[in-house]
Amino acid sequence: MERIAVDTSAMIEFLKGNEHIAAVLLRLYESGADIVLPTIVRYELLVGIRDERGEVIVKSFRTIDFNDRAADIAARIQKVLKRKGKTASAADLLIAATCLAHGAKLLTLDKGFDRFEGFGLQIVSS
């Protein structure tokens, strides 16, 4: 079963009623994909949500944790980026590492995640 993690940018659009993102999520769901939220995404969304409906939706998603394996992956990626003189936000790095640790592809609207493709992160096109 294909595992798809949804990033904050895509979830925000979904919660705002973006029909395109809703259709992408529906297509993935109907194909049997395991649709999940990295715990960092859950945190980011719950901090910003201002209504109970959005909170209920976010909490209905199964999560994948930032665990020891994800921490090791994040550290390795950070070292490589630093050596190359590149940077990434801590949240993006932790989300990407969580996906890699759990074998999940990432549905995102944030082009900043492209920098992690060289480390094996697969981006789902929307």
Domain hosting residue 107, numbered range:
3-124
Per-residue pLDDT tens digits for 3-54? 999 999 999 999 999 999 999 999 999 999 999 999 999 999 999 999 999 9
The enclosing domain of 83 has a CATH number of 3.40.50.1010
Q: How confident is the model at residue 1 (pLDDT cuts 50, 70, 90)?
A: confident
* pLDDT the model gives residue 125: 80
How many degrees, rounded to 5, is the angle at CA 10 between CA 81 and CA 68? 45
pTM: 0.95
Q: Who contacts 38 (Cβ-Cβ below 8 Å, separation ≥6)?
A: 5, 7, 63, 64, 66, 94, 95, 98, 99, 104
For the cut 80, the answer to whether the pLDDT of residue 126 exceeds it is no
- At 72-118, the pLDDT tens digits run 999 999 999 999 999 999 999 999 999 999 999 999 999 999 999 99
User: 57 or 125: which carries more pLDDT confidence?
Assistant: 57
Our count of domains for the chain comes to: 1
